[in-house]
């Protein structure tokens, strides 16, 4: 297997500065070595050229209704990233996108779904299913799944929509922090949502296997989105939107081992590592470990 690393050093999608340094921190945490130890051939494509947020006006372009900051810049990054991801998949490689904030997932999904039907497993504390009119903040890192699926305000936004991704093939794992309108929208959708309560009651194995089954049903492959705030902040402190009560170290590793065992990953991203908020690069190093597990690294 060849894994192509694509860095996206953007913090357009959220207010906490520093997440744009995530790709560098993850690489510094030993990503290439960890992937090689999993048996992967590694090609590092470098980083997309992303202008600094401080050099841009977040309100230079707004949607017709509501608020979405850095919308112009997000479109530019999405378009460039989608092309890189699609090229990697077309070459028989597995793209691994390093964020950056979670808005980069719009490009990952669009690229992975080009000329294919895909599913997605969303490991995250948050639903990322807001729209410009429902978002309390206007931060696009809370909107990527809604954007890719063309939900509500995002319907017909061609640069953001991933037509090869359908709600019935999307599964959340580990939700524990939702806005009220987002909660209602997820309930009304055809997506499958497993909360932390489900993990408590059923165990990580049952939940992740069920999520993988949903995502992989009748598709060409799955996209795995790993937001590091999915983990408990006690072990992953370097994230911009920490929520107590996340998965443990072993639960996270086992989840990624199950991902590898499913042998269906078409593309993956790891996002929201913020070195400014981290402790001794702990979160970035953990990200590299989890990615290695997702690509097949085992104890024995």
User: Among 20, 124, 153, 182, which one carries the catalytic annotation?
Assistant: 124
Q: Is 102 a catalytic residue?
A: yes
Q: Which of 47, 93, 141, 257 is catalytic?
A: 141
Active-site position among 153, 182, 227, 269: 227
Round to whole Å and give the CA distance between 137 and 135.
5
- Euclidean distance between CA atoms 99 and 23, whole angstroms: 6
User: Six-digit token pair at 244?
Assistant: 């107590």
Strands 118-123 and 41-47: unpaired
Query: Of 93, 126, 223, 257, which residue is the catalytic one?
Result: 126
Q: Is 257 marked active-site?
A: no
The verdict on whether 158 is a catalytic residue reads no
Q: How many CB atoms lie within 10 A of CB 98?
A: 27
Cα-based angle 149, 92, 43 (whole degrees, multiple of 5): 100
The CB-side HSE value for 144 (13 A sphere, CA atoms) comes to 28
Q: Which of 229, 251, 278, 289 is catalytic?
A: 229
Euclidean distance between CA atoms 270 and 19, whole angstroms: 12
Catalytic residue among 11, 251, 257, 272: 272
Distance CA 111, CA 118 (A): 11
With a CB cutoff of 8 Å and minimum separation 6, the contacts of 95 are 3, 4, 6, 84, 85, 88, 89, 108, 111, 112, 267, 268
| Residue from 101, 102, 198, 251 carrying the catalytic annotation | 102
Q: Is 45 a catalytic residue?
A: no
**126 carries an active-site annotation:** yes
CB burial string 189-212: b at 16+ within 10 A, e below? bebbbbbbebbeeeebeebbbbbb
Q: Pairing between strand 265-271 and 221-227?
A: parallel
In angstroms, the CA 122 to CA 253 distance is 15
Q: Reading across the β-sheet that carries 118-123, which strands appear in turn?
A: 41-47, 2-8, 94-99, 265-271, 221-227, 118-123, 165-175, 192-195
Which of 128, 153, 182, 269 is the catalytic position? 128
Annotated binding-site positions for Mn(2+): 102, 124, 126, 128, 227, 229
Please report, in range form, the residues annotated as the binding site: 102, 124, 126, 128, 227, 229
User: Known catalytic residues?
Assistant: 102, 124, 126, 128, 141, 227, 229, 272
């Amino acid at each position: 297997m060849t894994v192509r690393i694509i860095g996206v050093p953007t913090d357009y999608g959220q207010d906490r500065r520093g997440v744009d340094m995530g790709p560098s921190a993850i690489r510094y945490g030993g990503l290439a070595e960890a992937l090689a130890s999993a048996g992967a051939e590694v090609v590092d494509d470098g980083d997309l050229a992303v202008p600094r947020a401080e050099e841009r006006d977040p309100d230079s372009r707004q949607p017709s209704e509501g608020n979405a900051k850095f919308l112009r810049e997000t479109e530019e990054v999405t378009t460039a990233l989608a092309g890189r991801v699609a090229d990697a998949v077309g070459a028989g490689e597995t793209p691994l996108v390093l964020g950056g904030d979670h808005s980069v997932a719009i490009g990952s999904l669009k690229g992975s779904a080009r000329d294919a039907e895909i599913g997605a497993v969303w490991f995250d504390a948050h639903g990322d299913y807001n729209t410009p009119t429902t978002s309390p903040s206007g931060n696009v890192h809370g909107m990527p799944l809604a954007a890719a699926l063309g939900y509500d305000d995002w319907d017909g936004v061609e640069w953001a929509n991933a037509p090869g991704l359908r709600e019935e093939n999307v599964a959340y794992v580990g939700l524990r922090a939702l806005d009220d309108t987002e909660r209602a929208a997820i309930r009304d959708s055809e997506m499958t949502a497993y909360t932390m309560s489900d993990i408590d009651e059923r165990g990580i194995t049952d939940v992740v296997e069920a999520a993988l089954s949903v995502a992989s049903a009748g598709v060409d492959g799955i996209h795995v989105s790993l937001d590091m705030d999915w983990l408990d902040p006690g072990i992953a402190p370097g994230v911009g939107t920490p929520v107590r009560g996340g998965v443990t170290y072993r639960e996270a590793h086992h989840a990624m081992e199950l991902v590898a065992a499913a042998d269906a990953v078409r593309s993956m991203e790891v996002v929201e590592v913020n070195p400014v908020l981290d402790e001794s690069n702990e979160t970035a190093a953990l990200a590299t470990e989890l990615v290695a597990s997702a690509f097949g690294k085992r104890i024995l």
